[in-house]
Amino acid sequence: MSDTRPAFRLNRKVCLAIMAAAIPALLYLELAKPTFTADEVLQPLIAMTLTRAVGAVVFLALLLTEGYRVLNPVRKPFWRSILWVLPSILVVVNNLPTLSLLWGDAYLVYKAPRYIVWFTLECLAIGLFEELAFRGVILLMFAEKRRRTRMGLFVSILLTSAVFGAVHLVNLVAGSSPGAVFLQIGYSFLIGAMCAVVLLKTANLWLCVALHAVYDFCGHLMPTLGGGTWWDTPTVIFTAVLAVATTAYMVWQFFRMDPSEVERIYEK
């Protein structure tokens, strides 16, 4: 479905000015690691939220400069798109250890509103930054010259999702165990590929941001603010079945998609 409105494009000089202001701020937050609070739980949440929000500004400027049409939050057919991504919604929501919470095996330790609010903001900032960067800019730039064929789009999804997974290797430097990092690389690749298909199918980047943010919220809530055991056997089995089913659904939908559907993203 074509969008008849002219595509908004940010002037390149304005983009460079935004980047000139944002990149030093980003480097300061990443390298200087300023202290915002003495609370050891809140400090990393605030720092991550601000860092990723500034990073999101950089990639939003790049996206607007390219003029890709993916920023209409209610792009038609909106409700059909919601139905189409329903399996993806189930995947991200299932990342919350619901059964463990209901049975009392998992529990929140930091229940004060300030913790919940900053944790939510952190998840939103991460989802916004990573989807703008990897799907909104890197995927769309890479796919622009390959969008005429289904195989070209498929290769674009695989390569950019592999890059998205590989960047999580930096967590080894942060002290994470190799096993945890390689597991993170694997599910980051799958989530990245899922969001890539969602974007190409719906031309709505905000759906990807929402999926990513909810996935992080549900998956990181207990490790960050909670305690106990959250990966029980029924949860693991159900998660594996749901993941396989959703992967099959996404692959099936992708190969049913006509590459011409992607053209509405690049109408400039």
Residue 7 per-residue DSSP state: P
pTM above 0.75, yes or no: yes
pLDDT at 268: 65
What is the average pLDDT value for the chain, to the nearest integer?
A: 92
CA 185 to mean position of chain CA atoms: 14
Quote the crossing angle between the two packed helices 178-202 and 233-256, to the nearest 10°.
40
Region 95-105: mean pLDDT is 88
| pLDDT tier at 6, thresholds 50, 70, 90 | low
pLDDT digits (tens, 9 = 90+) for 132-155: 999 999 999 999 999 999 999 999
| pLDDT tier at 124, thresholds 50, 70, 90 | very high
| pLDDT tier at 91, thresholds 50, 70, 90 | very high
Contact predicate 18/61, CB 8 Å: yes
pLDDT digits (tens, 9 = 90+) for 197-240: 999 999 999 999 999 999 999 999 999 999 998 888 888 888 88
Question: Is the pLDDT reported for residue 16 higher than 90?
Answer: yes
User: What is the number of H-type helices and E-type strands within the chain?
Assistant: 13, 2
